[in-house]
A and B are shown apart, each in its own frame.
Chain A
C-alpha cells in the first residue's frame, strides 16, 4: 500500500482524502515498520522548510533508504522541496539530498508568494503526466522554489517571469511544487498516475 508520511505538518489529510476520493487506499503513518512495507511513499507538507525538516526528524533517513531501494517516492510542496540538498527559508536547512539543487527565494520583482493556478508545460517523458496532454494548470502556493542542478533529473516548468521548476522526476523519485491534491480533476489524475507507477513497481 502507498504510505503517506504523517509528520505533524498541514495538508497531510488532504492528500489522503484525494487518494481515497479516486478509490486508492493509502495509509497515513509515521511508523518505520509500515513505511518499510510501503509500495510507494508520499511526502506531503504545508509548512516552512525548517519546521518540516525538524518534524520529519529521523524519518528522513528511512525515506532515503526506501527511495534508494527503488520504491516510488512523491514529494509535494515542502515535501518536494525537501528532496533537494539545502534551503535558506528562515535560516539554513539541510534537505534529503536525493536531487541536486537548492531551495531559494523566488526573485523579487513580482508578486510573492507565487499563489494560484499557473500553467505547467508537461514533458512527454515524465510519468506523472501520462494522459494529460502538453500543458495544464495547477495550484501553487510558495515563496521559495527548487533551483534544480541535476543532469539526471527531468524537469517540468511553469512561467513566472522566468522558467520556474514545477515538477521533477529522477528515476523513482518524483516531486511537484504545486498541489495535485488541490488542483481539481487534473491534479487527481497525477495522484492516479503515481498510484499506477507504484503498482507497476511492486
Chain B
C-alpha cells in the first residue's frame, strides 16, 4: 500500500535555511545541504527546497545547491521558487531535482504546466499554491503570488482543478493563514482541494503537534504533510512523527 509522506521543507535564502511566521520574521535554521542530508538519514520521505529570494542572482545559487544536495541525498526532492520557464525546469531536473514546483509563473502563464508535463511527465510538475482565506467570500480561499505578497482574484479550489487539467502531477498547498503558527493545518482548505483533484496533495502550513499531522491526513485527506518549524527547531524527529502516525493506523514507510 502506498504510504503517506513526511516532507521537511527547507526555505532557502542567501544559501541558508530560514523559517518565518506567516511568511515573515525569518529565523536561521542551518545549512541546506547538511540539513537535507540529516533529514534523509533520519528517514524523511522526501524534501522540498524553496528559494524564497528567487532573484536572478539566486537562480545560479539554487542550481549549485541542487547539485550539491543531489550528491549527498538519495531521496527525492522538489525545488521551487521563481521558476519561470521550461528551460529552467530542465536545468533543475538535470541538476538532480526529482520535481520542480511552479507558483507565480503558472498563474501568469498556465501553459507552463502543460509544456512541462509533456516534456518531463506530469510527475515532475508540482503546482505550488499559496492560499489565504478570502475576506469577501466566506468559505473560499484566494490564490496569492510572488511569495504570498500579491493577492489575486483566483479561487484556490478552481485553480487546483485547472492545474491538474493542464498537467500538474501534484499540488503543494500552503495555507498562508496557518503558516509558521504551529496551530494546525487548515484542513478545510486541504479537504476542499483534495476533493477537487485526483492528483496527490501535500498539505503545508501550521504543523505544531503530531496530532496536526494526523488531522491533515485524516480530515484534510492529504497524501503528504510538509513541515518546517517543528523539524528545524527540534520539536520532533521524523521517526517520532512516523511512529505516531503508524500507531494510529496510517500506512508509513518506517
Contacts and interface: CB of A to CB of B under 8 A. Distances in A.
Contact of A141 (B1, B40, B72, B123): B123
Interface string A16-34: 0110110000000000000
A177 to B, nearest CB: 11
A139 B123 CA distance: 12
Interface residues of A, number: 43
Interface in A118-160: 118-119, 137, 139-143, 159-160
Interface string A157-182: 00110000000000000000001011
Given A160-B1, A182-B76, 13 more contacts: A10-B94, A13-B70, A13-B96, A14-B98, A21-B71, A46-B120, A47-B119, A48-B117, A48-B118, A49-B121, A116-B200, A118-B1, A143-B122
Contacts of B67: 13
A115 interface: yes
Contacts of B120: 10, 46-48, 51
B75 A14 contact: no
A12 interface: yes
Interface string B89-102: 01001111011000
B66 to A, nearest CB: 10
Contacts of B121: 46-49, 78, 89, 142-143
B74 A187 contact: yes
A143 B98 contact: no
A113 B124 CA distance: 10
Contacts of A14: 70, 96, 98
A141 B98 contact: yes
Interface in B59-92: 67, 70-72, 74-76, 90
Contact of B119 (A11, A13, A51): A51
Interface of B: 1-5, 40, 45-46, 67, 70-72, 74-76, 90, 93-96, 98-99, 117-124, 169-170, 198-200, 223-224, 253
A17 B117 CA distance: 25
A118 B94 CA distance: 25
Nearest to A137: B253
A148 to B, nearest CB: 20
A160 B74 contact: no
13 contacts: A13-B96, A14-B70, A47-B121, A48-B118, A111-B199, A112-B198, A116-B4, A116-B46, A117-B5, A139-B45, A142-B123, A182-B98, A187-B74
